[in-house]
Amino acid sequence: MSEPGVPFLSVTAHYIDSLDGKPQEWELKSEQLAFTIINSNHSGSNIGQILIETINNYNFHTKAVAFTIDPSGKDWIAGKHHVHCMEHALHLAVKHFIEDVYPTPASILIRNKTNEDDNNEVTNEVDNDEVTNFNVTNTMGKALALVWKSPQACTFFHKCCAAVNEPNLKLLKWIHTRWALFFAILECTLKLCKGVNRFIQLIDDSDKVPNLQSKTYGAFKLLAKECKKLELMHNMLQESANAQQSFSATHEPTVWHTIPVLKFLQQTWQNIARSLKFNDFSTAINSSINNLHKWYHKINETDVYFICLALDPNYKVAYAKSKWEPCDFDKDMRRLQNVFNTYYHCGSLPNAEPVVAAPSSLTHQGLYGHKLKDYLASPLKDIENIVAWWGHHFIQYPNISRIPKDYLAIQGSTVASE
C-alpha cells in the first residue's frame, strides 16, 4: 500500500487464453506488469516513460495490439494503438456539467483560455483534473468536509439517521478525481435526506459536538428549492453513472461498448436538455454534450472501436450501419477488411508485415474473403460471453477468430489498474 500523496502507476496486461487441454474454452485474463512510483507529477511524459520501460522489460514491441490510457499519455502512443480510457472521458463530461452549474475560479480561467485546439483542450482538462481545488458547492462540499473532520459530528449524524429510521450509510467525502463520485454523493445525501435535515436542526444545540469557529452548522441548511435542484442533478448524472458502469468490468471485453454507449448518452442528455423541468440546467447539460461529442469523434483515430463492435455477435456492423453516415461506415469497413487481410496472411498480430499483399479482389470474393462476409451476414445473436462464443466458433471461423483473440482483450477503461 502506498504512502498518502505518493503517486503510483499500475500497468496491467489483458489477454485471451484457452483453458489447459480445452483449446476452444477461451477466457479473458489479466496480469499486473508494473506498479511503479511516478516521479514528479501525473504528466504524459512520466506516464509514457514508465510504459515504455514496461514494454521493453517484457519485449512487447510486436505483441501488444493497443494501450488503454488516459489522455495525458496520448503523445507517447501511436494513434492507431492508443485507446482512450472512457471512464475518464465520461468523468470530464460530468465535470463540464458541474462546473457550469457551480463555476469555480479554476473552471472560469479554463473557459477564458482561447486559441486552443481540440487536443490541447484535452490535455488541459487532464492537467486541471489533477490540481483544481474542486468544490461541488459552497454549501454541500464544505458541509461534508466539516462533518468528516469531526468524529463527534459523524457520530451525531448517524444517531440522527437512526432516529428517523434511515439506513446507517457513511457520508462520502468529495474527491474530484474519483469516477462518478459526485453522483454517489448526491445519491447518498438524497437517501438520507430526513437524517440530514434532523442533523442540521439539532447539532448546533448539542453539547456533544464541538462548535464551529465563526459559523454554525445551520448555515449549511439546504432549502427545499435547493434539494429539488440536487434531485434534478442526480437524475441527469444517473445516465452518466450507468454509462461508466459499462466500462468497469475487468473480466469481459469493454471497448465494444464505446460506440453505442456514447451515442446513447448523447441522445439521452439531448432529450433531458429539451425537458422543461431541466431549463435551469440546459446550458450546463449542453456543455457536457459538446464535450462528449468531442470524445465520440475521437474514436475514429483508431480502428479498435469499430472492429471490437463488429466482433460482438450481438451487434456486428448493424448498429454502425444504421447510425453512421455511409462514408464513415464504408471507411471503417475498409479498416476491418484490411485487418482481416493482414491476419489471414501473417497469422499473427496486425503490426507484423504480411508476406504477400492480399489482392483487392479477395476482399469480396476468393479463397477467404467470403468468410468475413459470412460472419457479418449471419443473424445477430443474443449472448452474454462473447469471448467464450468466439472460442466455441473457432473451427467455423478459423481465420477471423485470430482477430477477436487479440482485439477483444483490449479494455475501454483503466479501472483494472486503479
* pLDDT on residue 73: 53
H or E stretch at 23: strand 22-37
Asked if residue 335 lies in contact with residue 307, where contact means CB atoms within 8 angstroms, the answer is: yes
Distance CA 49, CA 44 (A): 8
% of residues, the chain, pLDDT over 90: 29
* pLDDT on residue 74: 56
Distance CA 123, CA 117 (A): 10
Query: Using N-to-C axis directions, what is the helix angle for 140-149 and 151-163, rounded to 10°?
Result: 110
Distance CA 33, CA 70 (A): 18
Among candidate residues 310, 308, 304, the one with its CA nearest the CA of residue 377: 310
* pLDDT on residue 188: 84
Residue 366's CB: how many other CB atoms inside 10 A? Answer: 11
- Residues present in the chain in total: 418
For residue 19, the cross-strand partners are 22
- Reported as half-sphere exposure (CB side, CA atoms, 13 A), residue 360 has a value of 2
Distance CA 236, CA 226 (A): 15
- Cell digits of residue 4: 498518502
Among candidate residues 295, 376, 351, 346, the one with its CA nearest the CA of residue 92: 295
- Cell digits of residue 352: 507484423
Asked if residue 415 lies in contact with residue 244, where contact means CB atoms within 8 angstroms, the answer is: no
Asked if residue 76 lies in contact with residue 48, where contact means CB atoms within 8 angstroms, the answer is: yes
* pLDDT on residue 239: 92
380: which DSSP letter? P
What global pTM score does this model have?
A: 0.77
For residue 10, the cross-strand partners are 35
- In angstroms, how far is CA 176 from the centroid of its own chain? 15
Asked if residue 208 lies in contact with residue 170, where contact means CB atoms within 8 angstroms, the answer is: no
Among candidate residues 373, 298, 232, 359, the one with its CA nearest the CA of residue 88: 298
Where are the alpha helices (H) located in 274-368, listed in sequence order? 282-298, 304-310, 318-323, 326-346
Among candidate residues 339, 305, 299, 321, the one with its CA nearest the CA of residue 380: 321
- Give rounded-to-5 percent helix, strand, coil for the chain: 60, 10, 35
DSSP output for 250-293: SSS--GGGHHHHHHHHHHHHHHHHTSGGGGGGHHHHHHHHHHHH
CA distances for 80 relative to 74, 223, 224, 394, angstroms: 11, 51, 51, 26
* pLDDT on residue 36: 80
Distance CA 398, CA 61 (A): 25
* pLDDT on residue 220: 77
- Cell digits of residue 157: 449524524
Parts of the chain with a pLDDT under 50: 1-2, 76, 104-138, 348-367
Per-residue pLDDT tens digits for 170-193: 777 666 556 567 888 888 888 888
* pLDDT on residue 357: 37
Asked if residue 262 lies in contact with residue 201, where contact means CB atoms within 8 angstroms, the answer is: no
- Cell digits of residue 59: 519485449
What is the torsional sign of CA 88, 90, 91, 93? positive
358: which DSSP letter? P
Asked if residue 237 lies in contact with residue 182, where contact means CB atoms within 8 angstroms, the answer is: yes
Distance CA 330, CA 192 (A): 52
